[in-house]
Amino acid sequence: MHPPPADTIPLSALQHFLYCPRQCALIHNERAWAENRFTAEGQLLHKKANEGPDEHRASGSILRHLHVSSEIHHLTGICDIVEVSGGDLRSPSASPETPIFKSAHSVTPVEYKRGKPKSHRADEVQLCAQALCLEEMFAISIETALIFYGKTRRRTEIPITADLRALTLATIAAVQEMKRTGITPTAEYEARKCDACSLIDLCQPKALRLKRGANAWFQARLQATT
């Protein structure tokens, strides 16, 4: 198997970037990582979703922990679950030019998240990127995807709209540029996000904010005396 191109990015990087560009750079440029209760709960939920074999019935299939990729968009990652309605299942080792599901009625990625629906669109973008990979792999158009939120214990339907596709493509380009430059953005402390982030001790957003404040004060005093 050939290694992916240098500009290939993991699906998770898109979610990280929209949550916090600095978090994304720390994880995907500097290879920093730390666990907390939230990440542990998320991993447990993913593990439960991935347990058990794939299921194949006359009405369709359920594929678990499916590796996906896109050569067009330079993406790679894993779908928790992919539900296939109808269709003639073929081996995933088939040629990329050959649809895996020759007559599938629909292919639906299902992402598992530990929390609840959010005000930002990071989860939606990650799911849309999965849809882009699946569309390329299966030669099929995907109009709807699903997120199962552990806190509500419900599935939320995510329409794969033109607006969401545009946001996803823009995010892909931004993450690729971040990886190309290797620049880690400065910290901007935001309690709601930062206090829940497992990287807060590595990131030190409060300390950096105080440092910037002290530097601004020093520069102002310097200008006042000149």
Predicted confidence (pLDDT) per residue in 103-151, tens digit: 557 899 999 888 888 878 999 999 999 999 999 988 889 999 999 988 8
Q: Worst-scoring range by mean pLDDT, 13-17, 86-90, 179-183, 202-206?
A: 86-90
Separation CA 79–CA 64 (nearest Å):
7
**Are the beta carbons of 144 and 130 closer than 8 angstroms?**
no
Cβ neighbours around 20 below 10 Å, total: 22
Q: Is the pLDDT of residue 220 over 60?
A: no
Overall size of the chain counted in residues: 226
Digit-coded pLDDT (tens) for 30-78: 998 887 677 776 676 666 666 777 777 777 788 889 999 999 999 999 9
**Are the beta carbons of 178 and 24 closer than 8 angstroms?**
yes
**Which of 11, 148, 7, 113 has its CA nearest to residue 66?**
11
Three-state DSSP at 62 gives strand
